Amino acid sequence: MNTWPYPRWIAHRGAGKIAPENTLAAFRLGAAHGYTMIECDVKLSADGVPFLLHDATLKRTVRGWDATESATAGDHPWAQLSHLDAGGWHSRAYAGEPMPTLAGVARWCLANGVALNIEIKPTPGTDARTGQVVAEHAARLWAQSPVPPLLSSFQPEALAAAQQAAPHLPRGLLLDSLRDSWAAEARALQCVALICNWQLWTAPLVHQVHLAGMRALSYTVNDEWAAQHLWALGTDGIITDRVDLFTPN
């Protein structure tokens, strides 16, 4: 991808911490703060429906599930997950807010001209299947859009499956630490971006990533001085919780 269709600022999980993460309510709030690209976490229900949730389990951000059943979200069919409350944990104002499907989010993003970074967040043990199914759905949902979703993952196996299922969709490798094999992995996966824990970026690393033809992106940047530092290093994009602090440009 020689031309880069994405903005510099990306709202993390919708609107960071000021709305329940990975809900459409959060997307609306992120957009209301001027953000034109949003990051979200996507996994599969037991019957293969891609939906938004960060954690593998329902414990932290979902209410209304039967505690005698498995806490792992991916163990449940979508018909059950779709009735649960993913907003009440955050605040009363958002009680009853559902977990969205990727299809619902696609509809909203396309209607509102918002670009999406789909972080493929597989339930442990389902990396390849999640990468494949999410990429297939994304390819279909964004088929008519000039700006494709950016697929990213910490799991190379998920990205490899996405690459096979939808080679034309751009991919980003997420790194929380720099392993020796990162450059070879990114090359094999034909990634357009390396998306690092922001503290990993140095001038030589930015240079190396740019020489390899990739963009250099960071998560999760919530301080002004850190953002200034990253722009000065020449990085290309920032994922932030602080949609209330940073004005995207």
Active site residues: 12, 54
Task: Tell me: does residue 119 bind ligand G3P (CB under 6 A).
Answer: yes
Looking only at residues 14 through 53 of this chain, which bind Mg ion when binding is defined by CB under 5 A?
A: 41
Looking only at residues 184 through 213 of this chain, which bind Mg ion when binding is defined by CB under 5 A?
A: none
For 220: left if phi > 0, alpha if psi spans -120 to 50, otherwise beta; the answer is beta
- Side-chain-side CA neighbours of 178 within 13 Å: the count stands at 10
Q: Dihedral (C-alpha) 211, 212, 217, 223: value to the nearest 10 degrees?
A: -40
Q: Which of 21, 119, 127, 241 binds Mg ion (CB under 5 A)?
A: 119
Question: Nearest distance from residue 214's CB to Mg ion, in Å?
Answer: 19
Q: Count other C-beta atoms under 10 Å from residue 193's C-beta.
A: 24
**45: closest CA among 116, 106, 100, 117?**
100
Looking only at residues 70 through 99 of this chain, which bind ligand G3P when binding is defined by CB under 6 A?
A: none
Nearest to ligand G3P of 171, 211 (CB atom): 171
21: three-class secondary structure by DSSP: coil
Question: Nearest distance from residue 54's CB to Mg ion, in Å?
Answer: 6
Place of tokens 């990085």: 235
Nearest to ligand G3P of 42, 49 (CB atom): 42
Name the residue whose CB lies closest to ligand G3P. 219
For 199: left if phi > 0, alpha if psi spans -120 to 50, otherwise beta; the answer is alpha
Task: Tell me: does residue 219 bind ligand G3P (CB under 6 A).
Answer: yes
Looking only at residues 94 through 113 of this chain, which bind Mg ion when binding is defined by CB under 5 A?
A: none
Question: Nearest distance from residue 154's CB to ligand G3P, in Å?
Answer: 7
Tokens coding 188 = 């094999």
Q: Binding residues for ligand G3P, per CB under 6 A?
A: 12, 39, 41, 54, 119, 152, 174, 219-220, 239
